[in-house]
Chain A
Amino acid sequence: MADYDRTLPGSQQAFSRRKTLSQFLHLDLVLLTPLLVLVIGGLVVLYSGSDGDWGTVTRQLRNQAVAFSAMLFAAQIRLDTYRRWAPALFLVSICLLVLVPFVGVGAKGAQRWLSLGVVRFQPSEIMKLAMPLMVAAWFTRHTIPPKPAALAGALGLVMVPAALIVIQPDLGTSLLVAASGLFVIFMAGLSWWYIFGAVGLFVVSAWPAWLFLMKDYQKQRVLTLLDPESDKLGAGWNIIQSKTAIGSGGWSGKGWMQGTQSHLDFLPESQTDFIIAVLAEEFGLRGVLILLLVYLLIILRGFWIGLKAQTGFGRLLAGAITLTFFVYVFVNMGMVAGILPVVGVPLPLVSFGGTSMVTLLLGFGVLMAISTEKRVIDQ
Chain B
Amino acid sequence: MPAGREALRDTHREAAINGARVFIAILIVFVALSGLAWRYYRLQIVEYDRFLTQSDRNRVRLEAIPPKRGLILDRKGRLLASNEPSHRLSVVVERVPDWAVLLDKLHGMIALDDEAIERFEERRRRRRPYDAVPLKLQLSDEEMAIIAVNRHDLPGVTIEAQLTRYYPYGELLSHAVGYVGRINERETAEIDEAAYRGTLHIGKVGLEKWYEDTLHGKVGFQNVETNAHGRVLRVLDSQPPVDGADLQLHLDLDIQRAAFDALGDQRGAVVAIDPNSGGVLALVSKPGYDSNLFVNGISNTDYSALRNSRDTPLLNRAVQGQYPPGSTVKPMFGLAGLEQGLVTPETTVPDPGWYTLPGDSRRYRDWILRIRGTGHAPQVNLQMAIAESCDVYYYDLARRMGIDAMAEALSPYGFGRRTGLDMTSEKTGILPSRAWKRSALGQPWYPGESLSVGIGQGYMLATPLQIAQATMVLANRGTSFVPSLVWRMNDKPVGFEARPPVLATPAHWNAVIAGMMDVVHTRRGTAAKIGRNLTYTIAGKTGTSQVIGIAQDEVYDEDEIAERHRNHGLFIAFAPVDRPEIVVAVLAENGGGSSAAYPVARAVLDAWFSETQHGGL
Contacts and interface: CB of A to CB of B under 8 A. Distances in A.
B29 interface: yes
A245 B22 contact: no
A299 B19 CA distance: 15
Interface string B353-365: 0000000000000
Among B11, B52, B55, B56, residue most surrounded by chain A Cβ atoms (within 10 Å)? B55
Interface in B211-267: 225-229, 233
B307 interface: no
Interface residues of B, number: 45
Contact of A337 (B1, B43, B225, B226): B43
Contacts of B5: 141
A245 B54 CA distance: 9
B39 A334 contact: yes
A288 B52 contact: no
A292 B58 contact: no
B22 A187 contact: yes
A280 interface: yes
Given A266-B228, A307-B22, A339-B39, A250 B58 contact: no
B44 A251 contact: yes
A189 B9 contact: no
A296 interface: yes
B26 A323 contact: no
Given A250-B45, A334-B39, A144 B17 contact: yes
B59 A249 contact: no
* Chain A: interface size category: 35 or more
Interface stretch (A87-95, A99-107, A312-320, A367-375): A312-320
A264 B233 contact: yes
A323 B29 CA distance: 8
B228 A186 contact: no
Contacts of A260: 55-56, 58-59, 225
Contact of B48 (A141, A247, A292, A300): A247
Interface in B1-38: 1-2, 5-6, 9, 11, 13-15, 17-22, 25-26, 29, 32-33, 35-37
B311 interface: no
Contacts of B15: 315
Contacts of B13: 144
Nearest to A143: B9
B50 interface: yes
B47 interface: yes
A284 B48 CA distance: 10
A334 B229 CA distance: 27
B536 interface: no
Contact of A296 (B25, B29, B51, B58): B29
B33 A243 contact: no
Interface in A226-255: 241, 243-251
B41 interface: yes
Please report whether the interface of chain A is mostly helix, strand, loop or mixed according to DSSP: helix
Contacts of B55: 244-245, 247-248, 260-261, 266
Given A143-B9, A247-B43, A247-B54, A330 B36 contact: yes
B274 to A, nearest CB: 60
For B14, B33, B36, B233, which residue has the most chain A Cβ atoms within 10 angstroms? B36
Given A260-B225, A315-B14, A266 B37 contact: no
Contacts of B18: 187, 189, 306-307, 312, 315-316, 319
28 contacts: A143-B9, A144-B9, A144-B13, A144-B14, A187-B25, A189-B21, A243-B51, A245-B55, A247-B50, A247-B51, A248-B48, A251-B44, A260-B55, A264-B228, A265-B228, A266-B59, A280-B43, A285-B45, A292-B37, A296-B33, A299-B29, A300-B26, A303-B25, A312-B11, A312-B14, A322-B25, A323-B25, A337-B43
Given A244-B55, A265-B229, 15 more contacts: A83-B1, A141-B5, A144-B14, A189-B14, A247-B51, A260-B56, A261-B59, A264-B58, A264-B226, A266-B58, A266-B59, A306-B18, A307-B19, A307-B22, A315-B14
Interface of B: 1-2, 5-6, 9, 11, 13-15, 17-22, 25-26, 29, 32-33, 35-37, 39-41, 43-45, 47-48, 50-52, 54-56, 58-59, 225-229, 233
Interface of A: 80, 83-84, 140-141, 143-145, 186-189, 241, 243-251, 260-261, 264-266, 280, 284-285, 288-289, 292, 295-296, 299-300, 303, 306-307, 312, 315-316, 319, 322-323, 326, 329-330, 333-334, 337, 339
